[in-house]
């Protein structure tokens, strides 16, 4: 009984004491400050995913 209350007190105080930056784009794992860098990163990310099947098919066709 006492252990459960201690754990609950600790978790609620840990959540309350953690401070993260707030606002648009602050909770993302990449920066959105520079729009041209963001555009380049998105082109590389989505472009590689789009090109991958074509590269695999080309490899399979050219394979002996």
pLDDT at 14: 56
CA 19 to chain CA mean position, Å? 19
pLDDT at 9: 75
Ranges of each domain in the chain = 1-17+28-62
Contact 30, 38 (CB under 8 A): yes
Strand ranges (E), the chain: none
d(CA 45, CA 48): 6
Residue-wise pLDDT for 8-49, tens only, equals 777 666 555 567 778 888 888 889 999 999 999 999 999 999
| Side-chain half-sphere exposure of 27, counting CA atoms within 13 A | 5
pTM for the predicted model, two decimal places: 0.57
| Superfamily classification of domain 1-17+28-62 | Cytochrome c oxidase subunit VIIc (4.10.49.10)
d(CA 19, CA 26): 12
Token duo for residue 44:
């590389």
């Amino acid at each position: 009984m006492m252990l459960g209350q201690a754990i609950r007190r600790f978790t609620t105080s840990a959540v309350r004491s953690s401070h993260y930056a707030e606002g648009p784009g602050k909770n993302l794992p990449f920066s959105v400050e520079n729009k041209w860098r963001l555009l380049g990163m998105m082109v590389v990310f989505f472009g590689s995913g789009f090109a991958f099947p074509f590269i695999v098919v080309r490899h399979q066709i050219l394979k002996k």
